[in-house]
């Protein structure tokens, strides 16, 4: 961390520690909460501790290791949220899995939003205000929605009323955070549109999401083309079309019917336009098979 960055961090910690002592503490606190709601600070991982009241105690090891590999490759896309508990110590509010994966990935610092005591109402107002900005990419909006859900204990319908959106809109944004990291990264850098991403979340299998994502990038698929591809993958049986029936040549039909009559069995003749093909003779028992052989021998 640079000296300038370190000084900035020290200044922030000083504000956090002395905010209630200031004569204009309420105004300063409101301003600070607004800033902290949209900015992250790099915090030493070893200065962060887990929340002892966190109800979740077990983490899927396979998912954790997958996140470790993603962090090594792309970095941590979604910052964690912590509260300041002393001058240089923090406690996790949300993001323990991301924190654990970052430690396993060997990171020394981690980006974090810093909460201060009793800032629930102001944080909610600041986040809602942030979401109204026009320059946010879809992933930033999704992260803000998720923070409101986790940190302000809001349900999707309650959040929808707060931000003036349909409940389905809020849910679709939050679902973006379940997309594979490669796709989230493209969304964050605006290389992928919200329309494309909305189509991708229609698939639940991450491998299928990645397949469609790579194809849309490679072939330059439009949103509608991507939606059609997703529909085909979700309902493969509907995309299988029957081969058009071929018109059987009259002479071939006569020969097939004659063979069926002579052999006493169903006969199929599959013939191409170039004259290649095969004759298939059906039988249902050894006796019928022997009878066919006798007829051929005669």
The larger pLDDT score, comparing residue 212 to residue 137, is at: 212
pLDDT of 246 above 60 = no
Give residue for tokens 């189509």: 199
Question: Which tokens sit at 184?
Answer: 């989230």
Going by the DSSP 8-state scheme, the letter that residue 133 receives in this structure is -
Answer yes or no: is pLDDT of 111 > 90: yes
CB atoms within 10 A of CB 134: 4
What spatial distance separates the first Cα and last Cα of the chain, rounded to whole Å?
Answer: 96
The percent of residues above 90 in pLDDT, for the chain, comes to 23
The string of DSSP letters for 33-55 reads HHHHTT--EEEEGGGEE--TT-S
CA-closest candidate to residue 147, choices 182, 184, 173:
173
Residue with tokens 């997958």: 66
Q: 39-68: per-residue pLDDT in tens? A: 788 999 999 998 775 655 677 888 888 899
Pick the more confident residue, 28 or 96: 96
Q: Coil, strand or helix: which one is 88? A: coil
| Confidence category of residue 122, pLDDT binned at 50, 70, 90 | low
Question: Contact 99/80 with Cβ under 8 angstroms?
Answer: yes
pLDDT greater than 60 at residue 134? yes
pLDDT level of residue 173 (50, 70, 90 thresholds): very high
Average pLDDT along the chain:
78
Angle formed by the axes of helices 181-188 and 206-219, nearest 10°:
40
pLDDT exceeds 50 at position 191: yes
Q: What pTM does this model have?
A: 0.53
CB 271 within 8 A of CB 252: yes
Name residues whose C-beta falls within 8 Å of residue 104's C-beta, 6 or more positions apart in sequence.
64, 65, 68
Residue 6: pLDDT over 60:
no
Residue 25: per-residue pLDDT? 52
Residues 139 and 182: beta-carbon distance below 8 Å: no
Catalytic residues: 96
Mean of pLDDT values over 219-227: 92
Per the model's pLDDT, the better-predicted residue between 35 and 19 turns out to be: 35
Q: What domains, with CATH codes, occur in the chain?
A: 1-117 (3.90.1530.10), 119-241 (1.10.10.2830), 250-297 (no CATH)
pLDDT at 239 over 60: no
The yes-or-no verdict on residue 276 having pLDDT over 70 is yes
């Amino acid at each position: 961390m640079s000296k300038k960055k370190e000084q900035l961090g020290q200044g922030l910690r000083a504000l956090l520690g002395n905010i209630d002592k200031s004569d204009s503490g309420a105004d300063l606190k409101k301003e600070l909460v607004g800033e902290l709601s949209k900015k992250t600070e790099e915090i030493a991982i070893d200065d962060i501790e887990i929340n002892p009241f966190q109800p979740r105690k077990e983490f899927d090891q396979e998912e954790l290791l997958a996140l470790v590999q993603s962090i090594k490759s792309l970095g941590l896309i979604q910052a964690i949220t912590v509260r300041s508990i002393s001058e240089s110590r923090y406690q996790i509010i949300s993001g323990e899995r991301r924190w654990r994966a970052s430690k396993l990935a060997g990171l020394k610092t981690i980006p974090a939003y810093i909460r201060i005591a009793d800032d629930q109402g102001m944080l909610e107002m600041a986040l809602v205000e942030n979401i109204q900005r026009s320059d946010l990419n879809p992933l930033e909006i999704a992260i803000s929605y998720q923070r409101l859900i986790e940190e302000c204990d809001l349900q999707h319908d309650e959040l929808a009323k707060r931000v003036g959106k349909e409940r389905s809109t809020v849910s679709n944004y939050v679902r973006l955070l379940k997309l594979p990291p490669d796709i989230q990264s493209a969304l964050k850098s605006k290389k992928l549109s919200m329309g494309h991403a909305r189509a991708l979340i229609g698939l639940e299998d991450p491998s299928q999401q990645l397949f469609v994502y790579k194809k849309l990038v490679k072939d330059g698929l439009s949103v509608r083309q991507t939606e059609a591809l997703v529909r085909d993958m979700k309902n493969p049986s509907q995309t299988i079309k029957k081969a058009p029936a071929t018109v059987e040549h009259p002479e071939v039909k006569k020969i097939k019917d004659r063979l069926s009559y002579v052999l006493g069995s169903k006969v199929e003749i599959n013939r191409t336009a170039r004259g290649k093909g095969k004759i298939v003779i059906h039988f249902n028992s050894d006796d019928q098979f022997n009878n066919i052989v006798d007829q051929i021998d005669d």
